Amino acid sequence: MTARLLAAAPALGLTVVLALAAAPVTAQEAPAAPSFLTTPRDWSATLREDVTALHAVIMDSHPGPYDTLNPGFRARAEAGLATALQRAEATTDAGGWWWALRAYVASFDDGHVQMGLKESGGFPTRWPGFLTNDKGGDQIVMTRDETDADTPPVGARLIDCDGVSADQLGADRIGAFRGRWFLESQHVLYGDWLFMNASNPWTPEMRNCRFEVGGQTRGWTLNWRPIATDDLSARRQALSGRGDYEFGLKTLDDGGVWFSAPSFNGNPGSDAYAALTPLMEEMKTRQTELRAAPYVVLDLRGNGGGSSHWSDLVAQALWGDDWMASHQLPAIEAIEWRASDDNLKAIQAYFDEWTAANADAQRINWARRIIDGMTAARAAGQPYWRDGNDQTAPEEARPAPTRVVRGPVFVLTDAGCGSACLDAVDLWKAMGGIQIGRETSADTVYMDVRGDELPSGLVQIAIPMKVWRGRQRGNNEPQRPAHVFDGDMADTAALQAWVRTLPEN
């Protein structure tokens, strides 16, 4: 397999809808509390069973336990399990069960280790009459109950609560249950959780907080109370800066072309797949217009990943094969797949689905190669099947190709860009694209997730099956824009006006 195919091998596109595990909920997503909250259950036993099963899946199928370059993985997994089992002794309700599981998942600091409720809805939530959000590294009051005069005003900056600094509060109360708190994107996506208590018994409600208001330090005693689901959802949506993005290829008034892809889902049954397939054909049809445009924007807002196959097709349509061949990402060393029985079944299921859907030959052959490799590794008792880079000699030098794209190509990203979205940014920047917008999320070198279910029947999980060796972008390293947009990332009109002012234009 060539270096290019290794780097572009399509991700599985398992876009598992994981409640409470993804971006902030939107205003229209305000379902009632899940039914299991009112069903009698031994939540202590449920936590023990679920976290033990989750740990077993990770040890059986995740690449980490045998990764010699990550020698602390097993110890981290065991420590997380021990903490969850200890919490099980004190767990009396669904909130204790859920947040102990979340903390175990978060301990891996890996966006590809995921979990979510199968049933839609959230946990009963309390607040002190105001919410903060991360703004420039500070926690700022962004919304409040205007009928309660005894709450800090909008714009107040948090200093500390109960003697604990604002930074430490974020790490303890959000990062410990979301993971990767060292990333700006996590602060952007989850910063508004600091003054919400969604039935989490492991984060006692804060009592006394100090804020800076107009250059003066003032203290408040917090009065926690329930908040209605619709009210909370609307407030969080207003703070999120995330919109409802659509697929499309539009020519703007000044001749610039705006390409939008809010998902790279590779599942043939998904809405995104149905939208992306004709969109790729449209890019080919309009290739001359794209290349002659004064500028092109590749808009990845809302894109959390899926399959890197789509970003390859975009690059081919825009820059062409010759340009891609001369601007390749550095070849990776290899991909190692954890050769477990359940991982093999997951790849087989995708092979069967793609074959039935008459998907392109690259996808089908990719899956067949992995199936054969995993099968051989299992027969030999090996934990990994290693898909090595077989490019043993440098490619023959070729004349530098002519740049066929007239204007700059801007790659617009937000904090939710991860997985195959990051692969797209890697590729398009190598082609000469200029990243703009906000810093992305980041991923580990553990990739390509598969789904599973925990014994309670209440939770879906997703875990990675492979590990990259020698990837240019480091472990949990985000992509940072050349030009930062400080406004509302959901305001497309404002972004379009801003793009016209960029120096490359």
Does the pLDDT at position 431 exceed 70?
yes
Which domains occur in the chain, in start order? 126-226 (2.30.42.10), 248-442+478-499 (3.90.226.10)
* Closest C-alpha to 441, from 264, 305, 282: 305
What mean pLDDT is reported for the chain?
Answer: 91
> Within a 10 A sphere around the Cβ of 497, how many other Cβ atoms?
11
- For residue 306, give Cα distances in angstroms to 203, 302, 331, 332, 362: 33, 12, 21, 20, 16
For residue 19, the model assigns a pLDDT of 32
Which of 2-11, 249-258, 360-369 is most confident? 249-258
Return the residue matching tokens 């399959």.
Answer: 307
pLDDT 10s digits, 11-54: 443 333 333 333 344 334 455 678 888 889 999 999 999 999 99
For residue 19, give both structure tokens.
């409640």
484 CB contacts (<8 Å, ≥6 apart)?
436, 437, 438, 439
Query: What is the pLDDT at residue 394?
Result: 56
Q: Are 301 and 247 in contact (CB under 8 A)?
A: no
For 120-148, what is each residue's pLDDT tens digit? 888 999 999 999 999 889 999 999 999 99
Give the mean model confidence (pLDDT) for residues 336-344: 98
CB-based contact 27:234 (threshold 8 Å): yes
Tell which residue, 207, 233, 201, has the closest CA to residue 220. Answer: 207
Q: Give every CB contact of residue 137 below 8 A, 6+ residues apart in sequence.
A: 187
- Check residue 7 and give its pLDDT: 33
pLDDT at 6 over 60: no
Cα 26 from Cα 244, distance rounded (Å)? 9
Which DSSP category does 19 fall into? B
Closest Cα partner for 465 from 373, 379, 336, 372? 336
Can you give the pLDDT at residue 18? 37
Question: For residue 31, what pLDDT is reported?
Answer: 55
Mean pLDDT of 485-493: 94
Dist. CA 186–CA 439, nearest whole Å: 11
pLDDT score recorded for residue 390: 62
pLDDT at 237: 87
> What is the pLDDT, as a whole number, of residue 401?
86
The pLDDT value recorded for residue 16 is 34
User: Is there a contact between 178 and 186 (Cβ–Cβ < 8 Å)?
Assistant: yes
Summarised one tens digit per residue, pLDDT across range 281-339 is 999 999 999 999 999 999 999 999 989 999 999 999 999 999 999 998 888 899 999 99
Instruction: Give the per-residue pLDDT at 32.
Output: 67
How far, in Å, CA of 283 to CA of 319, rounded?
A: 11
- Percentage above 70 pLDDT, the chain: 92
How far, in Å, are 130, 222, 240 from residue 235 at the CA level? 10, 19, 9
- Give the pLDDT confidence score for residue 498 in this predicted structure: 98
> How many whole angstroms from its chain centre is CA 197?
23
Share of the chain above pLDDT 90, in %: 81
Any idea what the Cα angle at residue 479 is, between residues 477 and 483, rounded to 5°? 150
In whole angstroms, what is the distance from residue 123 CA to residue 333 CA?
45
Would you state the structure tokens that stand for residue 259, as one six-digit string? 């390409």
Reported confidence tier of residue 391, pLDDT bands at 50, 70, 90: low
Size (the chain), residues = 505
Summarised one tens digit per residue, pLDDT across range 202-254 is: 999 999 999 999 999 999 999 999 999 999 999 998 888 778 899 999 999 99
Which of 86-100, 119-133, 222-236, 384-398 is the least confident region?
Answer: 384-398
Beta-carbon contacts of residue 75 (< 8 Å; ≥ 6 apart):
none
Closest by CA position to 241, among listed 275, 195, 191: 191
The residue with tokens 């093999």 is 344
Residue 153 has pLDDT above 70, yes or no: yes
Rounded CA separation 475/446 (Å): 9
List Cβ neighbours of 2 (8 Å cut-off, separation of 6 or more). 390, 391
DSSP state of 500: T
- Tell me the Ramachandran region of residue 320: left when phi exceeds 0, alpha when psi lies from -120 to 50, beta otherwise: left
Alpha-carbon span 246 to 465, nearest angstrom: 30
**385-415 burial: b if 16+ Cβ within 10 Å, else e:** bebebeeeeeeeeeeeeeeebebbbbbbbbb
- What pairs with residue 85 in β-bridges? none
Asked whether residue 101 carries a pLDDT value surpassing 90, the answer given is yes
